[in-house]
Amino acid sequence: MHALLNEDWIKHYAEVWKGNTTAIEGTKGIDMIVQMSVSDRDRAPVHIHVNGDGLIDYAGPQIPGKDPKFNLAAPAETWRKVAAKEMGVRRAVTGPIKFKGSLALALKHFAGLEAALHQFADVPTDWEA
């Protein structure tokens, strides 16, 4: 079990991504850094880099000097609800998930981003940590 969105968690997330064809196909051409964090926990945000092929080629701590194109922050319970599909991704990113970035780009790649957020359920997570 990993604490949500810590460095071990995000590395496991990147491994799970390799088998998530919907996320891969849906994010092809995006080539961006995404920052994610848990707003009600005292831990640093993490970064992933999704390359033009829709693959994660970096997952770990924030990359100094690199600005994310997407920044997502939410309380742990919101992340859990999205992972469990108790809350829709559209509702989450327009409400409880604080989203910064191009909404037009997010909508263009919505199927991939939705699959990526639902993938949170596939990482062994200690939601209370």
Q: What is the pLDDT of residue 103?
A: 87
- pLDDT tens digits, one per residue of 31-88: 999 999 999 999 999 999 999 999 999 999 999 999 999 999 999 999 999 999 999 9
pLDDT tens-digit readout, 96-108: 999 999 989 998 9
27-30 CB contacts, 8 Å cutoff, 24+ apart:
27/54, 27/109, 27/112, 27/113, 27/116, 28/52, 28/53, 28/54, 28/112, 29/54, 30/54, 30/105, 30/109, 30/112
Q: Report the pLDDT value the prediction gives residue 120, as an integer from 0 to 100.
A: 97
